[in-house]
Amino acid sequence: MRRASFHPHPVTRGVIGVLVGSFVLLPLLATLEFTLRDGDAHSLVHWAAIFDPAKAATYKPIWVGLSNSLVLMLVTIAVVLLLLAPTMILVNLRFPRLRRSMEFVALLPISIPAIVLVVGLTPIYLVIGRTLGTGAWTLAFAYGITVLPFAYRSIQAAIDAVNLATLAEAARSLGASWPTVVWRVLAPNLRGGLLAASLIAVAVVLGEYTIASLLNRQNLQTALVLVNKQDAYVSVIFSLLALLFCFLLLLIIGRTGNLGAARGKDR
Amino acid sequence: MTAAGTEAAVLAGPADGATPRPQVRLRLPPPAQLGLVPFGAYVVLFLVVPTVLAVATGFFDKAGRFTLDNVSALSDPVVVTTFWNSTWLSLLTAAVGALAGALVCYALLGVPAHHPTRSVIDALAGVLAQFGGVMLAFVFIAAMGRYSLLNVWLSGAGINIYAASNWLYELPGLIPPYIYFQIPLMVITFGPALDSLKPQWAEANLTLGGTRWTFWTRIGLPVLAPSFAASFLLLFANSFSAYATAAALASQGSQIVPLQVRAALTSETVLGRENLAGALALGMIAVMALVMTGYALIQRRAERWRR
């Protein structure tokens, strides 16, 4: 009891919770109210309009943007799982001395604003446009960089939680080839971290605007800004849905992480 | 771990694969260093080269000749004003965000790590701090704009918050949404620091006749001060480099540096100069490098209490 004497008084906790909580939640609720307007009354008319054929032409950019963003998510996840994760495994197993450098590189994008990166990406994407085409999926290469710090932290936490070298040696001494070791022994042991990294990639790609808009590619966010000029309601509705979706993703990451931690305690 | 690592390296034989020993070679993959090449090439191509290009283009004109003309634009009154705007906006929102966020962290003290309240707050903080962007601009237009419930009620009470100007779409309009994403970022970055407060310190304080007040003034706040300062710098860097929210709110004008970069990228010339985007990028990188170095130094000092 005494031990916890620096914990806040329940009343203090309540006051802070109500004050900051209302600053965070009231704008979201006011936004929800905005989407429910129907003249002076409230109804689901603007939500129903999403599938109204009469408005299909206006809303088309959103569906195009959304499908582009879905493709971008898949390619970005591929970059994380097929490029970043194997490299991290390799560094941790065979080049432990490079771990610090790897961390430095992976966290570097935090210090480089996306708007600065775009200035340098413009000439690179001119070349990419000529060789790989101007498809939206090519943005995934840039997104792989913006996801890097988040993905690195998730995967490294998973690597730190298991003894990679022992697992690899055990499998090797039983005659497994290196691809088998990585695919059937290491990856399953790291799946928590790999899942978290993939879900964060989804959240980052879903909310990305800076790079897409300045490189003239269409994704969900650029579409929302475009459509917002003709119909504010639909872009606000999609914003709320995307925020809710990201919230659920992060909740899943947090809860599965906790489950993993709890399981580790039992052992 | 180290021994195991060495053994793994030994298992793999000479990593450069210079001397072929047939039986061993058959079981071995190609030199392990080769495995670092794809990721290395990727990082060079999409992180290192763009950063270098962004900074270097400021030193060249359209014809590719070296020039200091663009960089000297950083002292142009217009550019100085936008840098100043970015700076005070970041200082203000980082200060408010840091204080409010620290209060939330304090309120969460004593809530168990796996409690659902924590999971919900962590997830909410993650979304609003990192993935909001354009969507937060829409939220604030809907929540505070001309047609919002708030404005309708205030107008009903005879208060017109948009009497002077349509400020939500101008520089002051960035303050509410920026604070809105700074508070959750503070919760994410400063929260772990509070976990370093040890119950034993509270016990020691108590045995020595201290009160809750002396615990915070003599122990808690001094221990947390470096972490707080580091988090504040991170918040500053965060709003200094934010683009999406501002771009969606202020569709015209270049009140802050990221928006001026947009203007320089989308129109050919700003202030009658080419490649101004590069010079602005250089300025931003300089500020970010300064702030993030400070962050790293203070963070190292703060680690002392964690272990």
* Contact across the interface for A96 and B1, Cβ inside 8 Å: yes
Chain-chain contact of B133 with A207 (C-beta, under 8 angstroms): yes
Specify the domain boundaries for CATH 1.10.3720.10 within chain A: 52-266
Name the pLDDT band for A1 (thresholds 50, 70, 90).
Answer: very low
Q: Quick count: other Cβ atoms within 10 Å of Cβ B190?
A: 23
Q: What is the pTM of this model?
A: 0.86
Write b or e for each residue in B70-81: b if 16 or more Cβ atoms lie within 10 A of its Cβ, otherwise e.
bbebbeeeebee
Among B238, B226, B230, B237, residue whose Cα is nearest residue B286: B237
Contacts of B147 in chain A (CB under 8 A): 34
pLDDT (mean) for A96-124:
92
For B69, B251, B267, the CA distances from B272, given in Å and listed in that order, are: 11, 22, 11
Spatial separation of the C-alpha atoms in residues A230 and A120, rounded to whole Å: 32
How far does the CA of residue A44 sit from the closest CA of chain B (Å)? Answer: 16
Q: A123 vs B52: CB contact, 8 Å cut-off? A: no
Spatial CA neighbour of B116 closest among A17, A260, A254: A254
**Closest by CA position to B295, among listed B239, B235, B223:** B235
- Residues in B touching A31 (Cβ below 8 Å): 138-139, 142-143
pLDDT of A43: 85
pLDDT at site B192: 85
User: What is the per-residue pLDDT across A193-228, written as a single tens digit (0 to 9) for each?
Assistant: 999 899 999 999 999 999 999 999 999 999 999 998
Query: How far B148 CA lies from chain A's nearest CA (Å)?
Result: 7
Distance from CA of A130 to the nearest CA of B (A): 16
β partners of residue A42: A37
Mean pLDDT of the region B103-123: 88
| Mean confidence (pLDDT) of chain B | 83
- Provide the pLDDT confidence category of residue B269 given band limits of 50, 70 and 90: low
Backbone angles phi, psi at B48, to 5 degrees: -70, -55
Helices of type H across chain B:
2-11, 22-27, 37-43, 49-56, 69-72, 77-107, 116-130, 134-144, 149-156, 175-194, 199-207, 212-214, 221-241, 244-249, 257-266, 276-303
3-state secondary structure (DSSP) of residue A42: strand
pLDDT tens track for B120-158: 998 999 899 888 889 999 999 988 888 888 888 888 888
* Measured CA angle at B82 (ends B78, B88), to 5 deg: 140
Domain boundaries defined on chain B = 2-59, 74-303
Q: Does A18 touch chain B (CB under 8 A)?
A: no
- Residue B56 scores a pLDDT above 90: no
- Using CA atoms, how far apart are residues A232 and A35, in angstroms rounded to an integer? 9
> How far, in Å, CA of A126 to CA of A115, rounded?
17
**Residue A41 phi, psi dihedral angles, 5° rounding:** -100, -175
Q: Do B288 and A13 touch (CB under 8 A)?
A: no
- For B127, the closest of A33, A124, A250 (CB atoms) is A250
Nearest-5° Cα angle at B207, B206 to B211: 25
pLDDT band at B268 (very low <50, low <70, confident <90, very high): low
Two structure tokens written together for B103: 């209060």
In eight-state DSSP terms, residue B66 is: B
The pLDDT value given to residue A141: 95
Q: Which helix (H) or strand (E) holds A165?
A: helix A164-173
Is A90 in Cβ contact with B32 (below 8 Å)?
yes
Q: How far apart (Å, rounded) are the C-alpha atoms in residues B288 and B285?
A: 5
Q: Which residues contact A113 (CB under 8 A, 6 or more apart)?
A: B240, B241, B243, B258, B284, B288
Q: Alpha carbon of A87 to those of A102, A160, B40, B41, B86: distances in Å?
A: 9, 15, 9, 12, 38
Q: How far apart are CA B44 and CA B294, in angstroms?
A: 26
- A105·B29 Cβ contact <8 A: no
Query: B216 to chain A: nearest residue by CA?
Result: A6
- Judge whether A233 and A187 are in contact, CB under 8 Å: no
pLDDT at A266 over 70: no
Predicted confidence at residue B147, as pLDDT, reads: 81
% of chain A at pLDDT higher than 90 = 62
pLDDT, average across residues A46-56: 85
> Is pLDDT at B1 greater than 50 in this prediction?
no
Fold of B74-303: MetI-like fold (1.10.3720)
By C-alpha distance, the chain A residue nearest B13 is A94
Closest by CA to B40, choosing from A112, A91, A155, A168, is: A91
Q: Does domain A52-266 have CATH number 3.40.50.300?
A: no
Residue A9: Cβ-neighbour burial (10 angstroms; 0-12, 13-18, 19+): exposed
Question: ipTM higher than 0.85?
Answer: yes
